[in-house]
Amino acid sequence: MNNKELIDKLNTQKALSKYEWVQLFRSFSQEDRLYAADLARHIALERFGKKVYIRGIVEFTNYCKNDCYYCGIRCSNRNAQRYRLNKEEILSCCDEGRALGFMSFVLQGGEDPRYSLEQMCDIVRAIKQHHPDCAVTLSLGELSEQAYKALYEAGADRYLLRHETADAAHYAKLHPESLTLAHRMECLRALKKIGYQTGCGMMIGSPYQTPECLAEDMLFIKAFEPHMVGVGPFLPHKDTPFKDCPPGSYETTLFVLSLIRIMLPQTLLPATTALGTVHPLGREEGIKAGANVVMPNLSPTAVRKKYMLYDNKICTGDESAQCIACLKGRLAAIGYEIVESRGDYSAVGDR
Ligand code: 5AD
Ligand code: FES
C-alpha cells in the first residue's frame, strides 16, 4: 500500500499495524503530510467547527525532584532560578484567567514534594469553589494512586501525564533509571480508572526516537484511548545533556497531530507552545492540521522566564491579557475563534 492508501485506511479503520505505521513514518512526503492535514482538518471541523478551546496554564513551581535528560527544570540544572507560587498567587492567576474568558485551568509544575497532598487538594478545592463552572486540570507528574484519588475527590477534572515515548528502551534513554515506562503506564491507567479525563502524549524528534518508536506511540495511543493528547517537537535546552541535539521536525509534528486526529476524531488535541516555538505560525498550522485546543500561559510575568523546559519558549515576556489578545488575532487570521467553554471531552461529538 502506498502512504496515501495507508492514511485512507487509518481514516476508515481507525487503526494501522505497527509495520504500516513504521512505513508511514519512514517514508512520508510533504504531499502525504498535506493529504493527512486536509483529512484531519475536516474531521475537526465536523466535530468542533471553527472553534478552539482554551486552557490557561499556571506554572506554579519549577522545582522538580526528577532529572529527565531533556528538561530545562531537571533537578541537576543549577542555573535554573527556582520559584514556587502559593495558593493566593495561583488563585489570582485563575481569577485573571476567568476575567479573560478562560473556563479551564491547568496547574502544571515539576514534581515538587514541598507541596503536600493536603495543600494541593486545598488549592484544587479553592479554585473549584471560586470558579464552580470551570474545569481544573492537573499536571503534577507521577503520584500514588491514593494521591490521584484524593485530588480527584477534591474536584480536579482532568490530568495530563505525557507518556513521553511508548518504547521502553527509548524511555530509558530519555530518563534516569529511577523513572520507568512501566510506572508511567501504571499512573496513566490509574488516572483513567479514577475517572479523570486523561491526557498522554510525547515529544516529536526527541533524541534516539526512531520511526519504530513513533509507531509504538501510535499503537499505545490507540489502545489507551486518551481524552487528550499533548504532542510537540523536542527542543533542546542549553543546560541539559541534550543541549546539542537537533530540534524535532516541525513537519513531522504536524503530521503526527493530523494522524492522531484521524485515528481519534473526538480527542482534545492542543497546538502546543513548543509547536509555536519551533515555527512562528506553528500553533495556527497545528489548528489547520487537526488540533482544536490552545493552552496559553496564565503564569505571572515575573516567573515565566523561569519555567523554561526548552530554550526560546514563546510568550515568556507577555502578560496573560496580551497573550489572549494575540491568540485571538492569530486565530481570526485563519478563520477560527476561541470559545468560552470548559471544553470537555465528548465521545458523541456534540458541540
Ligand atoms: N522540548 C520539548 N518538550 C519538552 N518537555 C519537557 N522538556 C521538553 C523539551 N526540551 C515536555 C515533556 C513534558 C511536558 C510538560 O513538556 O513532554 O511532559
Ligand atoms: Fe502569547 Fe501571542 S499567544 S504573545
What 3-state DSSP class applies to 270? strand
Ligand nearest to the CA of 77: 1
For residue 282, give its domain range.
3-339
How far does CA 300 lie from the centroid of its chain?
20
Sequence-separated contacts (24+) of 334-339 with Cβ below 8 Å: 334/284, 334/287, 334/288, 335/50, 336/50, 336/51, 336/52, 336/287, 337/50, 337/51, 337/52, 338/51, 338/52, 338/53, 338/54, 338/101, 338/294, 339/51, 339/52, 339/53, 339/54
Nearest-ligand number for the alpha carbon of 271: 2
Distances in whole angstroms, Cα of residue 45 to Cα of each of 32, 144, 289, 327, 332: 20, 38, 11, 19, 15
| Strand runs labelled E in the chain | 51-54, 56-61, 104-109, 135-139, 158-160, 197-204, 228-233, 270-271, 293-294, 337-339
**Does residue 317 form part of some domain?**
yes
Ligand nearest to the CA of residue 74, numbered in listed order: 1
Q: Is residue 82 part of a domain?
A: yes
Q: Answer whether residue 349 is part of any domain.
A: no
| Nearest protein CA to atom 3 of ligand 2, as residue | 323
**Ramachandran sector of residue 127 (left: φ over 0; alpha: ψ -120 to 50; beta: rest):** alpha
Residue 345 lies in a domain: no
Q: Is residue 240 a part of any domain in this protein?
A: yes
How many folded domains does the chain comprise? 1
The answer to whether residue 350 sits within a structural domain is no
Q: Is the CB of 54 under 6 A from ligand 2?
A: no
Sequential pLDDT tens for the chain (351 residues):
999 999 999 999 999 999 999 999 999 999 999 999 999 999 999 999 999 999 999 999 999 999 999 999 999 999 999 999 999 999 999 999 999 999 999 999 999 999 999 999 999 999 999 999 999 999 999 999 999 999 999 999 999 999 999 999 999 999 999 999 999 999 999 999 999 999 999 999 999 999 999 999 999 999 999 999 999 999 999 999 999 999 999 999 999 999 999 999 999 999 999 999 999 999 999 999 999 999 999 999 999 999 999 999 999 999 999 999 999 999 999 999 999 999 999 986 543
Q: Which three cell numbers stand for residue 10?
A: 487509518
Residue 217 lies in a domain: yes
On whether the CB atoms of residues 240 and 13 are closer than 8 A, the answer is no
Q: Which residues line ligand 1 (CB under 6 A)?
A: 70-71, 162, 164, 203, 232, 234-235, 237, 274, 309-310
Longest dimension (CA), the chain: 57
Q: Dig out the grid coordinates for 67 from the structure.
A: 532529572
**What's 33's domain CATH number?**
3.20.20.70
CA of 253 to the centre of ligand 2 (A): 20
To test the pocket of ligand 1, the residue of 140, 249, 309, 310 to mutate (highest count of ligand atoms within 8 Å of its CB) is 309
Closest CA to ligand 1's atom 14: 162
Has residue 346 been placed in a domain? no
Here the cell at position 28 is 512520508
